[in-house]
Chain A
Amino acid sequence: MNPIEVSFLKKYYGDIKAIDGITFSVNPGEVFALLGPNGAGKTTAIEIMEGLRKRDEGDVKVLGLDPWKEGHKLHKKIGVIPQDFTFFEKATPREAIIYYSDLFGVKTNLDQLLKEVLLEDSAKVLFENLSGGQKQKTGLALALVNSPELLFLDEPTTGLDPNARRAIWDVIRGLKAKGKTIILTTHYLDEAQQLSDRVAIMDHGQIVAIGTADEIIEQHGSGERLEIQGSRELANYMIANTELVVDYHKGVISIPLKQKIDALAALAAAEQSKLDWGEIHTRRDSLDDVFVKLVSGMVNEHGEIIIENKSNSSNN
């Protein structure tokens, strides 16, 4: 049986459909990412799976348990970092781990755990004085105290600097290597791509695409296209003189290739025009491109999804 089985899950806050009928399952040993803009319903979904929120409709089984009704049983078997993890300000990571070990009634190898989350150096620093990355690592350490087989990480790197993010990624990769099943939410595309085996893209409470990154691109992306640096004049010339579909946007002429030979026709037209043109290359839609198509938002230079007007995010 899969660690997580979710079917037709719904959750409403008044009139707002936070989760609007989602179905998916997570395989053992897999890193599964819920990717989507803020407000897509990722946190609500993950909190329902953790047993922190009650669902309105549908069925959820986590490690074979109903998370809401059998939360007490479930919580001994899972590890969780909530969004914006925080802890008692006047306690150190070391004390926090001892505290959690006492609560769970387990023996913890303190040094080994601190090493696993790369926190040996700041084990005796008060939580309030830790950096964002160190706080997040403390959260990871606490999530691991009870040696869970299943981990929930709700936006584990939000607000961290690039180095801290990479350090957290390293820890997560280490956990995956040990065979833990991990479900994480993120609004960073690169994080989903770097860490996860499969991705579910969420928007407005629904899953709009699910699968490996390649599968999603395959299903929702356009095929290969040729891009030529050139002027609008050149684009117009090509439209007038070929049967190709030609798009122009900010100095880049983009031509979908129905067949490879279309590239030759495009380049021949460019040569005939006697106009200047620069670099040429072919490319496929990346996950970013697919994302922008699927989700009512766009991606900023940090790979973070931002919601904007449909008209602004259009390519034409």
Chain B
Amino acid sequence: MVSVRRIASDFRVFSRGYLRNKFGLFFGLVFPVMLILIFGAIFSGASSETINVYVQNQDTGPFSTPQMDVATQFLNSLNSSGTVLLVTVNASENFSNYLADHSASDGIVIPKGFSASYLAGQEVNVTVYGNPTASTSGIVSGTVYGVITYFNLKYYNPNASPIIGMTPATVNTEQTKYVDFLIPGLIGFSILVSPMFSLVNISSEYKKTKLFKQLSLTPLTKMEWLASKVIWYITLTVSSFLLMAVVGIFVFDAHITLTIWLIPFLILGPMLFSSLGMLVGTVTKNPETAGIIGNIVTFPMMFLAGTFFPISSMPQYLQSIAQVLPLYYIIEGLNNIMVYGNYNGALVDLAVVTIITVIIFLAAIRVFKWRED
């Protein structure tokens, strides 16, 4: 019979010990948040799809009415495209030197008399600087070409409302930022790392120091022992999840959905990796071997299961490897719920995770021995 009283008392002793150990607490709670801050900061600067474009507007007027300042209207249109971020360069600078000094390759120069020529219907050229080998220059010239076309069409019917307007359309998937998917990834990371390393370590150490033997002399069963560890790591995972979500939303403005659908993943994940850790710690002969095997099992998941980089950005053969890793389904499930709102997909992930968890949990209980023959 499983006794709640025994699980509770083992939980109390274990959690208190955990909280007294600053090291464990650091890796359980602080470290994942630090990772979010570090990776979020690295990738939010040079982030996402907007490209810095340097602009020198030599057509500074004076203009009798604001409507006459076509150059400014042109730049506003460019800005509102959303794909480029304009950085103004003073008209007195030598533009190509300026680009070189700032290690930049994308730039636009509006020549003097641009507005007047446009309004008079005279041909005028906008110069677009770009490095053909850089992926950004195609986007920049494409964007500029789009705005030019718009202005050309507008010229033929200047008084009517624009024939072709530009409305920035938002599609959910296109707006995903790095940090949005980084949060589910790092939640997956903390679901994996804390319970896994801890249980590998504990179960091999307890075996070596004979603490398991000692516990076997009490009425505590191994199922109860593992249950109390699982409950603790669920608690820790939920706390760390909340911390990461708060940091992601408030610091990096992440667009993530928080629903009760996440709960099964936050429960099954720690259960899966606590059991796996115990299994590794139990089948190995000593703590040293357990550590090595633990790393062999953990490290591929840590990097290939979509923790730091999206799976889709990896080559096909790595994607195939990723799909045999249990963590892959947890992170994919979290992404499906938090980022894409794809609940059918999440349900499939949940089913896979449930099956793996049940198998590993039962295997850990079965293989694990309090006593020796």
A301 at the interface (CB under 8 A from B): no
Q: Which of B6-14, B182-190, B330-338 lies on the face that meets chain A?
A: B6-14
Flag if A80 contacts B17 (CB, 8 Å).
no
Q: Which of A22-30, A45-53, A57-65, A203-211 lies on the face that meets chain B?
A: A45-53
Q: Which of B73-81, B114-122, B205-213, B345-353 lies on the face that meets chain A?
A: B205-213
Residues of B near A72 (CB, < 8 A) are 219
Interface string of A61-93 (1 = CB under 8 A from B): 000000000011001101010111111111100
Residues of B near A89 (CB, < 8 A) are 17
Interface residues of A in 97-156 (CB under 8 A from B): 98-100, 102-105, 126
Give Cα A85 to B210, complex, Å: 8
Contact of B20 among A53, A76, A84, A126 (CB under 8 A): A126
Flag if A103 contacts B371 (CB, 8 Å).
no
B214 at the interface (CB under 8 A from A): yes
Give Cα A174 to B177, complex, Å: 71
Flag if A84 contacts B210 (CB, 8 Å).
yes
Measured CB to CB, the nearest residue on chain A to B12 is A99
Residues of A near B152 (CB, < 8 A) are none
CB distance from B334 to the nearest CB of A (A): 32
Flag if A82 contacts B213 (CB, 8 Å).
yes
B217 at the interface (CB under 8 A from A): yes
A95 at the interface (CB under 8 A from B): yes
Flag if B5 contacts A105 (CB, 8 Å).
yes
Give Cα A22 to B21, complex, Å: 46
A284 at the interface (CB under 8 A from B): no
Chain B CB within 10 A, most for which of A51, A53, A78, A90: A90
Given contacts A54-B373, A84-B209, A86-B210, are A103 and B17 in contact (CB under 8 A)? no
Give Cα A313 to B328, complex, Å: 66
Give Cα A80 to B9, complex, Å: 20
Residues of B near A84 (CB, < 8 A) are 209-210
Residues of B near A54 (CB, < 8 A) are 372-373
Contact of A53 among B8, B13, B217, B371 (CB under 8 A): B371
Flag if B219 contacts A52 (CB, 8 Å).
no
CB distance from B285 to the nearest CB of A (A): 15
Contact of A82 among B5, B13, B214 (CB under 8 A): B214
Residues of B near A126 (CB, < 8 A) are 20
Flag if A53 contacts B372 (CB, 8 Å).
yes
Flag if A50 contacts B6 (CB, 8 Å).
no
Contact of B219 among A80, A88, A103 (CB under 8 A): A103
Residues of B near A51 (CB, < 8 A) are 371
Residues of A near B259 (CB, < 8 A) are none
Flag if B211 contacts A87 (CB, 8 Å).
yes
Flag if B218 contacts A104 (CB, 8 Å).
yes
Residues of B near A88 (CB, < 8 A) are 13-14, 17, 211
Measured CB to CB, the nearest residue on chain B to A139 is B214
Give Cα A91 to B9, complex, Å: 13
Flag if A100 contacts B16 (CB, 8 Å).
no
A-B Cβ contacts below 8 A, count: 73
Residues of B near A87 (CB, < 8 A) are 211, 214
Chain B: residues with Cβ within 8 Å of the partner, total of 26
Give Cα A87 to B13, complex, Å: 11
Give Cα A85 to B211, complex, Å: 8
Residues of A near B372 (CB, < 8 A) are 52-54
Flag if B9 contacts A103 (CB, 8 Å).
yes
CB distance from B252 to the nearest CB of A (A): 35
Interface string of B9-37 (1 = CB under 8 A from A): 11011101110110000000000000000
CB distance from B198 to the nearest CB of A (A): 13
Flag if B373 contacts A86 (CB, 8 Å).
no
Chain A: residues with Cβ within 8 Å of the partner, total of 31
Flag if A104 contacts B9 (CB, 8 Å).
no
Give Cα A90 to B13, complex, Å: 9
Give Cα A50 to B6, complex, Å: 22
B85 at the interface (CB under 8 A from A): no
Give Cα A112 to B13, complex, Å: 22
Give Cα A103 to B371, complex, Å: 18
Contact of B10 among A52, A99, A104 (CB under 8 A): A99
Contact of A52 among B16, B21, B217 (CB under 8 A): B217
Flag if A102 contacts B211 (CB, 8 Å).
no
B220 at the interface (CB under 8 A from A): yes
Chain B CB within 10 A, most for which of A75, A78, A86: A86
B44 at the interface (CB under 8 A from A): no
Measured CB to CB, the nearest residue on chain A to B224 is A103
Measured CB to CB, the nearest residue on chain B to A87 is B211
Give Cα A78 to B17, complex, Å: 27
CB distance from B86 to the nearest CB of A (A): 58
Residues of B near A102 (CB, < 8 A) are 5-6, 8-9
Give Cα A83 to B214, complex, Å: 10
Measured CB to CB, the nearest residue on chain A to B209 is A86
Residues of A near B218 (CB, < 8 A) are 75, 100, 103-104
B90 at the interface (CB under 8 A from A): no
Residues of A near B10 (CB, < 8 A) are 99, 103
Measured CB to CB, the nearest residue on chain B to A98 is B9
Measured CB to CB, the nearest residue on chain A to B17 is A90
Give Cα A69 to B373, complex, Å: 12
Give Cα A103 to B218, complex, Å: 7
Flag if B6 contacts A90 (CB, 8 Å).
no
Measured CB to CB, the nearest residue on chain B to A142 is B214
Give Cα A95 to B213, complex, Å: 19
Contact of B6 among A53, A76, A95, A103 (CB under 8 A): A103
Residues of A near B13 (CB, < 8 A) are 88, 91, 95-96, 99
Closest 10 CB pairs of A and B: A102-B9, A90-B17, A90-B20, A103-B218, A86-B209, A54-B373, A99-B13, A75-B217, A103-B220, A80-B217
Task: Give 8 A-B contacts (CB < 8 Å), ordered by A residue.
Answer: A54-B372, A72-B219, A75-B217, A75-B218, A83-B210, A90-B18, A102-B9, A103-B9
B interface, CB within 8 angstroms of A: 5-6, 8-10, 12-14, 16-18, 20-21, 209-211, 213-214, 216-220, 371-373
Apart from A52-B216, A104-B218, list 13 A-B contacts with CB within 8 A: A52-B371, A53-B372, A54-B372, A75-B218, A78-B217, A80-B217, A82-B214, A88-B14, A88-B211, A90-B21, A102-B5, A103-B6, A105-B5
A interface, CB within 8 angstroms of B: 50-54, 71-72, 75-76, 78, 80, 82-91, 95-96, 98-100, 102-105, 126
